[in-house]
Structure 1
């Protein structure tokens, strides 16, 4: 009898997804807890259907440039944290960053992601001039992922031409956030995400799956937080333990749990861009990203950082593709995507939320998702 009630509850939740009804925290907890293979296949098929309807079949490529591994923060999970004395630090000169952007553009990337630790040596003036030159000299969208700055600095960078900003919060559980971020404030992080939206950025954020102390209920609330923040991009990847952090010895997050959260993030957010992360490929090199693309993801971020720096940007150990040149990465990931029967986007991959708001729902759904 209990089993029948559970089956009935699950069918009711799947029916909600079919009819595009809102899912509650309790619904999400139930789905995150799924272990039966047939139920998971049903969930993933539904998520893939939502992905196809709302963001289409195109996969968007973002060329990732990790330009500095200096960081003023001391987050407990991160390999480039300030307290890691064993890491060799580097900063790419501005001209070298530009040369890498040119290479990315030549390889066909329509977006570059400029990512670093919170390295204040790069001032707002430095970064604004860099962004202006990129926009003048190449035809790419610019995403920044440089951590916490003042609102005035975010405004200056947006005025210089930056299109998007990525700022992850890693967990919406306030207590867990404070345990993992000894020198960061939860409310400040959330306030900055609001600022970025108000300024005009396309805003990305995300969480790690499998953090020590994280619960299924936390993950359900994370997914609801994505919707509340109206994010344009949501990054969901497994936690991978780094031995030079206070969390040394903890188990990694799992690919399976990450897939469930990706699928549910697609179902709940619908239009958000969702990457198939490098961390997934690190834990499952053969098909980690490919599987994610078949259950809700629609973005891949190949690394175009010069090879001499890649191993030094060690957020977590054993990252894939650290010895491949940018041309090799582009060819490899392109082939993997095409093998799934999915086309690679030739557009910038701008926010679908912004396009929806500009056009209205009826007109938007008639258009190709360019």
Structure 2
């Protein structure tokens, strides 16, 4: 067994065993990493060409009932600045985004009971009434099957629920009182209802091993999400895990590339977290098979209040000039911004 043979197998048949994936993570050197990235790039070019899809991110609320040990929005963080956007705030963001060419809007927030089904249905229907061709992605955490179904029937197209870790002990070590099984049951429900369901994991969680990362890779291969959000673990300064180092760009990029080979058609974001740990992080993610970026459309008055982790990159993209700058940066990296909904190709009707 050698690393290059495993990479070639991933490229040719989009599969590898647990043993092979672990060997790859344990033994990959710099030259082999470059080879892996080149194969991931070839795969994204085969299915999506050099297109990069933009999603306009709207951070709905900084309230959260959960108490995750690394997240700045955790309910026990007394220093957190809390806010909620109302329907008028959201529509203003959407109108601005549509003018800038964004055809997908991501409504993301903490798990905030204020956003009942009734309120969310009103928001979704208002967006769809004004922009019927645009896609809506929700990322609002764990909800009931009935709630997910209600929001889907109101017009939501996609739902992103990162599983964070597919290792039970590791997952529960950073999510106190949150059963591992509930997160995975939610993902199953989302897919069953008909969402373009997204999962994803963090790289560099305290005490995470390569065996844990292999569990994540095997899970996403089996679950086959429409989108997979992978980013480095970054703790917030006002949380119990504040002393831990963030995950590495190199290992995150390796995982991105492997996921691109395991799931050739997946939509794979180059996340804000990558830009937060390295100024070249987004480009590194794109070159490793990433094909989605999510510029922030939230009101400037609340952006710093949505503080998930330390040193979050605050990208000013509130006007057309910055949209142009995004395109220029993407072009410099060798890619091209595509202005459409950017559906996973298995979901295009």
Q: Which band: TM-score by shorter chain?
A: over 0.9
Matched, 1:311 2:304: yes
Q: Distance in 2 between the 1:34 and 1:301 partners?
A: 33
1:258 to 240, 246, 252: 252
1:121-160 alignment to 2 at 5 Å?
Answer: 121-138=114-131, 139-160=133-154
Superposed displacement of residue 20, structure 1:
2.1
1:48–1:295 Cα contact (<8 Å) kept:
yes
Deviations 1:49-72 (A, max 9, x none): 111112322100000000110000
- Aligned partner of 1:214 in structure 2 is 208
1:83 to 67, 72, 76: 76
- Aligned partner of 2:271 in structure 1 is 277
1:272–1:353 Cα contact (<8 Å) kept:
no
Q: Distance in 2 between the 1:296 and 1:347 partners?
A: 19
Segments of structure 1 that go 5 or more residues without pairing to the other structure are 1-7, 359-370
- Aligned partner of 2:167 in structure 1 is 173
Could you say what secondary structure the match of 2:137 adopts? strand
Q: Distance in 2 between the 1:50 and 1:181 partners?
A: 35
1:205–1:233 Cα contact (<8 Å) kept:
yes
**Bigger shift: 241-250 or 101-110?**
241-250
1:104 to 97, 101, 104: 97
- Aligned partner of 2:197 in structure 1 is 203
Deviations 1:15-59 (A, max 9, x none): 313432521112212222345221111111011111111232210
Superposed displacement of residue 133, structure 1:
0.9
1:69–1:313 Cα contact (<8 Å) kept:
yes
1:310–1:323 Cα contact (<8 Å) kept:
no
Assess, with a 3 A threshold, how the Cα gap between structure 1 residues 341 and 140 changes in structure 2: closer, same or farther: same
2:102–2:340 Cα contact (<8 Å) kept:
no
Q: Distance in 2 between the 1:160 and 1:297 partners?
A: 30
1:62–1:111 Cα contact (<8 Å) kept:
yes
Q: Let me know the Cα RMSD of the aligned residues.
A: 1.5
2:233 to 239, 245, 270: 239
Assess, with a 3 A threshold, how the Cα gap between structure 1 residues 39 and 354 changes in structure 2: closer, same or farther: same
When Rg is computed on C-alpha atoms for both structures, the one with the higher figure is 1
1:73–1:183 Cα contact (<8 Å) kept:
no
Aligned residues: 348
- Aligned partner of 1:194 in structure 2 is 188
Could you say what secondary structure the match of 1:344 adopts? strand
Deviations 1:276-296 (A, max 9, x none): 0001001111x2111211111
2:295–2:317 Cα contact (<8 Å) kept:
no
**Bigger shift: 273-282 or 29-38?**
29-38
1:205–1:235 Cα contact (<8 Å) kept:
yes
Could you say what secondary structure the match of 1:59 adopts? strand
Superposed displacement of residue 329, structure 1:
4.5
> TM-score, normalization: structure 1?
0.91
Could you say what secondary structure the match of 2:60 adopts? strand
**Bigger shift: 56-65 or 328-337?**
328-337
Could you say what secondary structure the match of 2:301 adopts? helix
Deviations 1:137-172 (A, max 9, x none): 024200001111111111111111000001111000
Matched, 1:63 2:56: yes
2:331 to 321, 324, 338: 338
Q: Distance in 2 between the 1:31 and 1:82 partners?
A: 39
Q: Distance in 2 between the 1:174 and 1:109 partners?
A: 37
- Aligned partner of 2:32 in structure 1 is 39
> TM-score, normalization: structure 2?
0.96
